[in-house]
Chain A
């Protein structure tokens, strides 16, 4: 695979003054995705699902084709198990407000991990508070694994287990398949936050046996504002709707309404067909590149980066020692320097990294730091960029007044 040819697909990467290492926050988009969205609005646009004329039917077809594409990508059994949302956050909230509010009761337990992004914590805190349920956290050990002892927090009282597949801070991949099995043994449902895994690895929701799987399009080359929720059909069927209004009904009278079939029951209002088409193009692009290449390239870059940083005595690295467990995510601190200052100094050299709590404050409290810096790489990043980043890192302490 020719890396320069791949980079040439990404218009924003043409400006080589910049090193973009904030891919865990959002990725860049190739022209194929931009063109697919542009083409939809230029040639196919009309309000999907309701119009009885050619353009509307075309828009509906484009939208439903995109759903099919997502279903095949995740290996869902049926297309209607894919609900389009704005992003992973909305997908997780959908499960919390519908399935969880209807099925979690006083004294029940919800189990999540300490590694979660706020979007996979706050919805469950809300449910626990409203329903009088207990929210429990699984803590990882010194090797970044969840011990069998720790997993015993999943008990007969557990109604729902939610876990991120890949941590957005540590980069580690969690054993969600094994946890799903434990959840199912006690009759709980398994919710997987796939925001950070879907861009980086082949996902098979049936193999994982996830009941719900949430992800965002914008972290995997797709546009912002489109994401999806996968849910097992029998669960989605039994759930009350999330948002109500247009497009999600069968009939409405003065007194009430009956709801549309799946997936439309969960897609109230005019849908985001243009971005769904963009997401389908992003999936095409990722599968053309192939996850073997993506994983190899990310692991190679992580290794190069981590090994260079390990030699610098003033740097603290977070996450596992094994460079193959990082999914392109390198989280660190520089002794004496606040990550915001580190990020600002790197920014003045056009190196884009993230600094702060990464929307994972309970995790940072568990690690014992207020904030960290994070460089996150994707398959289109290069060895030269890693070298430039490391060379700049070496000068940060000097710029911040240390000898």
Chain B
């Protein structure tokens, strides 16, 4: 898919009307991720219940459309998963970015799979993966 199509079909909607861009009232964890190439930051907030299930999550911060959309898509799909499932989901996403995921695995990413092309653009890969790295740090740090 060419870049303009990616924006039109996936990125713009999540960037202009993000569903999960807000602050949580009682987040269990908050972590800021910074993209050193542009200085943009994303603030990821997560709420876990006693069974380690992600009951709610959100993001805030300044960033490009790609990083904002990627955050929104990730959070949308990660809510309701337990920690192990969420980490597996993130790992599959990273495998897709690195080009080592199978077609089946990519399909399992659902809407996040649409970020595949942009994540392969050398100039924008960091924008696409910032929120995912940040979420991974939160979930791993908790273990």
Contact = CB atoms under 8 A, between A and B. Distances in A.
Contacts of B39: 356-357, 361, 364, 370-371
A348 B7 CA distance: 12
A181 interface: no
Contacts of B64: 338-341
Contacts of A401: 7-8, 12-13, 15-16
B37 A356 contact: yes
A348 B2 CA distance: 8
Interface in B98-130: 121, 123-124, 127
Interface in A330-376: 337-341, 343-345, 347-348, 355-357, 361, 364, 370-371
A314 interface: no
Interface centre among B8, B13, B38, B62 (most CB of A within 10 A): B38
Q: Which 6 A-B pairs have the closest CB atoms?
A: A401-B12, A338-B64, A340-B64, A348-B3, A341-B65, A356-B38
Contacts of B2: 348
A118 to B, nearest CB: 12
B7 A347 contact: no
Contact of B65 (A338, A347, A357, A361): A338
Nearest to B14: A401
Nearest to A336: B16
Contacts of A356: 37-39
Given A340-B127, A345-B3, A345-B4, A400 B12 contact: yes
Given A370-B62, A400-B65, A401-B13, A341 B38 contact: no
Given A356-B39, A370-B40, A399 B63 contact: no
A344 B8 contact: no
A380 B76 CA distance: 49
A340 B8 contact: no
B12 A357 contact: no
B58 to A, nearest CB: 20
Contact of B123 (A339, A344, A370, A400): A344
A344 B67 CA distance: 13
B38 A399 contact: no
Given A340-B64, A343-B123, A345-B7, 12 more contacts: A338-B40, A340-B124, A340-B127, A341-B64, A341-B66, A347-B123, A348-B2, A356-B38, A357-B38, A400-B7, A401-B8, A401-B12
